[in-house]
Chain A
Amino acid sequence: MNAKALLLCLLVSPLAALAQAPVIQISGANFRPLPLALSTPLVQGTESKATTQPVDDALLFDLRASGLFQVLDRASFLADAKEGMTAGSINFSRWADVGAESLVKYSLARDGSELKAEARVFNVGNGREEFKTAQSAPATQPSLLAHKVADAIYRYYTREPSPFLSSITYVRKSGKNKDVWVADWDGRNARQMTSGGINVLPALGPDGVVGYTSYQEGKPDLYVQKGAGLTRLKTNEGQMATGIAFSPDGKRVAYALADGESAQIWVANTEGGGARQLTDTRFGINTSPAWSPDGKRIAFVSNRGGSPQVYVMAADGSGVRRLTFQGNYNQTPSWSPRGDLIAFTARDERNAFDLFTVQVDSGKISRLTQDQGDNEEPSFSPNGRLLIFTSKRAGASQLFVMTAEGNNQMPLPSPKDKAEITTPDWGR
């Protein structure tokens, strides 16, 4: 639509024009990332300059990683550095000349202990301001402010919540210790949850609850940390409990309980009470439970067919169905919050680990990674559009993010010591 036609449309029917505001087609054959220019922030006052860089870094990362935008290289920009934030002060032809279709201008200012941002989204084609948002965060949390701004932009373009305000958990190796950490979705603002020993397979539940498997009493047991309170789940004594997974409503947990040669999937409440065994294969191993978004089904890994494969069953253990048939080693399922897909790790004929998704209804498999070192342990974002995973493509195992179709693979900002990071879980 050219500018004249749009103007006519606006004059004739303002409501119709609003209804036609752009919604990015997120996936599918017609998807094309929107060329977007994020201007450097206009800094108001001197105090906020020190926090400008972290906000800008996090905002650029969110927009790039979203997979929705082709975030344009600032080295190409032609606009006057002193250009303002209102449509009248912007020379749109200079933004069109760098290929931008969307322009985001934003400013930062300090207000006492608060950091404030104002962002405006312009349509470069017709020179109109389409959307604006004002956000604030404590000055000590510049990346939180960036996530709020990015979330507002994402919602404007998709009418969907973004994953930018969510958290992840993972295990970080340090010497002989393995500890559970919780961080913002992009790995920034990381907090250590355990202090030494072997703590593995963490999971995030609703309201910031963290569960994990710890060897602090010599054998693996399940722990749940809620605020400052830490509880050990009362699982069957003497057995090895691993791999806690919170149900979407946060009221139940699934886990694997191993005794000698077999491991079975159990479900209990979050204190460990009312435990119920779901699988019963005498010598088989059943492990890695993952809940469906409605809490009615559980995906898990079982070697009952001879090799580890992904299976699905009802949350009461009935109706077990094998979902993957390709390859001889499929593991670590993560059920998409949209319900349709399960992502998993598969070892291929060259002994490389790569990521795939399988459609729960049809069993159709899609490959997401290839020829980029070992890629493992996928976990879906809360909106099901992105996947976090670990990759050894650059050496030690590090966190990466990509779209659910396997596009736009990017490393998360890694810790300075390049510590090995494994088993991420993206909170809902």
Chain B
Amino acid sequence: MGMGSNRGGSGRVTMSEINVTPMVDVMLVLLIIFMVTAPLIQQGVKVNLPEARAAAVEASDKKLVLSIDAQKRIYIGEAEVPAAELETKLASNAKAQADKELYLHADRDVPYGVVVDVMAAAQRAGITNVGMITDPTTAARAPSSTKGKKEARR
């Protein structure tokens, strides 16, 4: 931290800059994130949804769906959008701006970092509510899957 270098010198303590990293985290946390059940969502591209056993809310098929497929390609509805244009596309999108809400429909194999980048872009575009679409049907079977067994053994 910037303060350390001044210790023991002239006795002056100067704090030259604020470390913004924790603040960015706080800002991202201000997003409201909720789980959404998949069967009602027919929009968007096909992805392998993650399984979740969290209590899910019922989805509205009128909300904007943002998809990330296994190849990390991003889609608004079914239109592919370059990652660099995502924030502009969402900031100018009348539907997203009216609702301040979208559903994130990300493949289970997409790295966490990519999902966070997309969520951060949505947040910068003024969207405060993000619904994570999960698959409740497979979630019910989850304990019998290999992955579930491995995790249970640990």
Report A's interface with B, CB cutoff 8 A. Answer: 35, 70, 72-76, 78-79, 91, 93-94, 96-100
Task: Select one of A70, A78, A100 contacting B76, CB under 8 A.
Answer: A78
Please state if B94 and A70 are interface contacts (CB–CB under 8 Å): yes
- Chain A residues whose C-beta falls within 8 Å of the C-beta of B95 in the assembled complex: 96-99
Min CB gap B115→A, angstroms: 20
Report B's interface with A, CB cutoff 8 A. Answer: 43, 64, 76-79, 81, 88-89, 91-98
Task: Select one of B43, B88, B94 contacting A99, CB under 8 A.
Answer: B94
The CA of A35 and the CA of B99, in the complex, are separated in Å by: 14
Min CB gap A407→B, angstroms: 17
Please state if B79 and A99 are interface contacts (CB–CB under 8 Å): no
Min CB gap A126→B, angstroms: 15
- Chain A residues whose C-beta falls within 8 Å of the C-beta of B78 in the assembled complex: 91, 93-94
The CA of A78 and the CA of B82, in the complex, are separated in Å by: 11
Given A93-B43, A97-B64, A78:B94 Cβ within 8 A: no
Min CB gap A33→B, angstroms: 10
The closest CB in chain A to the CB of B90 belongs to A76
Please state if A99 and B93 are interface contacts (CB–CB under 8 Å): yes
The closest CB in chain A to the CB of B75 belongs to A78
Please state if B94 and A76 are interface contacts (CB–CB under 8 Å): yes
The CA of A75 and the CA of B96, in the complex, are separated in Å by: 13
Residue of B76, B77, B91, B97 with most chain A CB atoms under a 10 A cut-off:
B77
The closest CB in chain B to the CB of A75 belongs to B92
The CA of A98 and the CA of B81, in the complex, are separated in Å by: 13
Pairs across A and B, CB under 8 Å, 26 listed: A35-B94, A70-B94, A73-B92, A73-B93, A74-B92, A75-B88, A75-B89, A75-B91, A75-B92, A78-B77, A78-B79, A78-B81, A78-B89, A79-B79, A91-B78, A93-B43, A94-B77, A94-B79, A96-B77, A97-B93, A97-B95, A98-B93, A99-B94, A99-B95, A99-B98, A100-B94
Please state if A76 and B89 are interface contacts (CB–CB under 8 Å): yes
Task: Select one of B77, B88, B91 contacting A97, CB under 8 A.
Answer: B77
